[in-house]
């Protein structure tokens, strides 16, 4: 049986421990279970694949909670199962490309949150357009929300086609973008 070696000095790193704790706290602020976020952070920082027992031991999380959290992370495609020769246990490894990770999270949130919202707002607008006695301003506000969501959805689809290197350039440009389009919507002004 092959045991994957984990450097004990790595496991004792205060900075590593803080990263995992902070990632767990941030996960809570993003409506992600703390255990799920901590397991993701641990696997993200781990230079070798880990199995559920190792994760449970290192984080002090119940084995059943680890199993459920791993399933969730696999469904988000943030981690994957990896085979380890000579060991029948499942090992896991995180996606380490931060851009790929961000894209997968965005895709998951879109599918779980944005797409249902678009569908619900579209249904409300369709119903409102046939109702008599609805104040015109209510319909206008519903249409404005629909238009906003449709625009954001189109923008998201366009951003998926942009290479990661270009997205990085775009994000690092910061205020330079405003100088191109102008802070008040007029070029250069």
CATH number, domain containing residue 27: 1.10.10.10
CA distance 59 to 50: 12
Same domain, 122 and 139: yes
Confidence of residue 167 (pLDDT cuts 50, 70, 90): confident
Q: What is the pLDDT of residue 180?
A: 77
Helix (H) or strand (E) holding 134: none
Is residue 102 one of the residues assigned to a domain? yes
Span 158-174, average pLDDT: 86
- Work out how many domains the chain is built from and give that number: 2
Distance CA 56, CA 87 (A): 18
| Tens-place pLDDT, residues 2-40 | 444 455 555 679 999 999 999 999 998 988 999 999 999
- By C-alpha distance, which of 6, 69, 14, 64 is closest to 37? 69
**What pTM did the predictor assign?**
0.77
Range of the domain at 21: 8-94
CA distance 32 to 150: 26
In the sheet with 87-94, reading across from the earlier edge strand, the strands are 50-51, 87-94, 79-84
Residue 148 lies in a domain: yes
Listed residue (138, 105, 107, 106) closest to 124, CA to CA = 138
Q: Do both 118 and 153 map to the same domain?
A: yes
């Amino acid at each position: 049986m092959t045991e994957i070696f984990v450097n004990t000095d790595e496991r004792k790193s205060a900075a590593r421990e803080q990263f995992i704790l902070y990632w767990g706290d941030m996960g809570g602020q993003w409506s992600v279970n703390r255990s799920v976020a901590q397991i993701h952070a641990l696997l993200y920082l781990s230079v070798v694949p880990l199995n559920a027992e190792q994760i449970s031991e290192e984080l002090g999380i119940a084995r059943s909670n680890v199993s459920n959290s791993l399933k969730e992370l696999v469904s988000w495609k943030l981690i994957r199962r990896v085979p380890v020769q000579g060991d029948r246990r499942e090992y896991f490894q995180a996606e380490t490309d931060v851009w790929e990770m961000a894209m997968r999270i965005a895709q998951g949130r879109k599918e779980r949150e944005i797409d249902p919202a678009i569908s619900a707002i579209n249904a409300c607008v369709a119903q409102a357009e046939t109702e008599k006695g609805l104040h015109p301003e209510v319909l206008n506000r519903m249409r404005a929300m629909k238009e906003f969501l449709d625009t954001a959805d189109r923008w998201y689809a366009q951003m998926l086609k942009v290479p990661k290197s270009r997205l990085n350039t775009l994000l690092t440009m910061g205020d330079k973008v405003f100088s191109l389009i102008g802070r008040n919507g007029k070029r250069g002004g």
